[in-house]
Structures are given as structure tokens and as C-alpha cells.
Amino acid sequence: MPPARRERADAARNRRAILRAAEELLAAHRPEDISMEQVAAAAGVGKGTVFHRFGNRMGLMRELMLERVYVVHEAVAGGPPPLGPGAPPRERLLAFLDAIATAVTRNKGLLAGLGHAEAMAQHTPEDVATSPIYVFWHTHIAGLLAEARPELDAEFHAHLLLAPFQSTPVQRLLDGGDPERLSWGLRRQAAALLDAPD
């Protein structure tokens, strides 16, 4: 095997090991109790490898969250309707809100880790809107809203529909792991928006 290809294979293997180690540590410990050194030791790699690959704690947590939501993104791009192409915009919007509500509720520990990493890095709330996950979610929701109701301020209302995912009180209410509660609330908000008189 050529050296370049061997290096790429090694890097991919290390990446998977690091993400798996971080996931296992988040399942057993509070995010603030997990260090990059612990992640490196659990993954069987050097600390420098973790920092080189992910930059810092926030980069690591963000990459792990991206891995989790990638399945949803694939379904949106090419999966069966109503989440994927082919369904009316209203049905796709409601299915998408269900999907991200489920993903968020099932990954509270990871979200807490991402939030802790952002706090440690002293990031401002405005940074959330520039994250790849948020940008994708917002763009997709805004597009569906504009298709269903062209007269709406779709970009603004998409931010409003996503606001609960950044709400600490809402996250605390979901500590019981009940995605249906969040899904139901989001569906009611979206339906009210789509059905509102002109």
C-alpha cells in the first residue's frame, strides 16, 4: 500500500476510535469531567493526535454531533418521503421536525458536552447560528416554509422553530428522554404557522 494511502487509513481509524471513545465517556460521565487526555487514553492514541484531528474539545464534540445527525441529513437528501424528496412541503417539514427532535432528545449528553465545550471556549450565542448543523436545519426548514407559504418571512420563522433546541429550560424539561413531547410542541407550532390566515 502506498504511504499516503496508509496514512489516510490510519487517520480514518484514529478518527473512528477517538469519536467512539468520546461517545463512551459521555455515556458514563458528565461532560465537564471528561478531558482530552481521557479521550486519547480511551482511544489508544496520543493526546497530540486528538488535538491535531479536532483542535479542541468543542471541535471534538461538534464532530461527534455531526456524525449523529448525518443520518438525518442523508434521509433528507435522498431517503423516502415524507422526510426525503417527493412529499408535500408541509409533510416534509413535520417529518423533519420529528427527526431532529428525536435526534436532539436522544443525544442530550452529547449536546451538553458541546454546550460545555462552547462555554469553556467562551463562544457567544451568535456562534450557534453559524454551526454546520444549525445552518443545514435552518436552510431546510426555511425552504419548506417558503414553498408552503411564500408570503411568510421563512428565514425568521425557521429561527423561531429552532429556538427550543437552544433553550436551557426546554432541555431541562426533556431530561426524561421524551422526544414525543418536543415533537408534538414543534408540530403544533409549525401547523399553526402553516394554517394561519393570510
Look at residue 10 in the predicted model and tell me its pLDDT.
85
Q: What is the pLDDT of residues 99-156, one digit of tens each?
A: 888 877 766 666 655 555 555 555 454 456 677 788 889 999 999 999 999 999 999 9
* Contact of 81 with 45, CB cutoff 8 Å: no
What b/e readout covers 15-28, taking b as 16+ CB neighbours within 10 angstroms?
A: bebbbebbbebbee
* Residue 80 buriedness (CB in 10 A; 0-12 / 13-18 / 19+): exposed
Is 56-195 the same fold as 1-55?
Answer: no
User: Is residue 187 within 8 Å of 94, Cβ to Cβ?
Assistant: yes
Q: Which CATH architecture has domain 1-55?
A: Orthogonal Bundle (1.10)
Q: Domain-by-domain residue ranges, the chain?
A: 1-55, 56-195
In what helix (H) or strand (E) does residue 33 lie, and over which residues does it extend? none
d(CA 152, CA 105): 29
* Separation CA 30–CA 130 (nearest Å): 26
**Average pLDDT, whole number, for the chain?**
82
Give CA separation, 100 vs 61, 87, 137, 172, 187, in Å. 17, 18, 9, 17, 12
Count other Cβ atoms within 10 Å, centred on residue 82: 18
Average pLDDT in the 63-78 region?
A: 84
Q: Choose which CATH entry (1.10.10, 1.10.357, 1.10.3470, 3.40.50) describes domain 56-195.
A: 1.10.357
Q: Which residues contact 114 (CB under 8 A, 6 or more apart)?
A: 58, 61, 62, 65
The answer on pLDDT for 2 being more than 50 is: no
What is the pLDDT, as a whole number, of residue 3?
46
- Residue 38 has a pLDDT of 94
Of residues 17 and 197, more confidence is placed in 17
CA distance 125 to 103: 21
For the residues 164-184, what does the mean pLDDT come to?
Answer: 75
Residue 56: count of CB within 10 angstroms of its CB: 14
| 107-123: burial string, b at 16+ Cβ within 10 Å, e else | bebbbbbbbbbbeeeee
Quick one: pLDDT at residue 70? 83
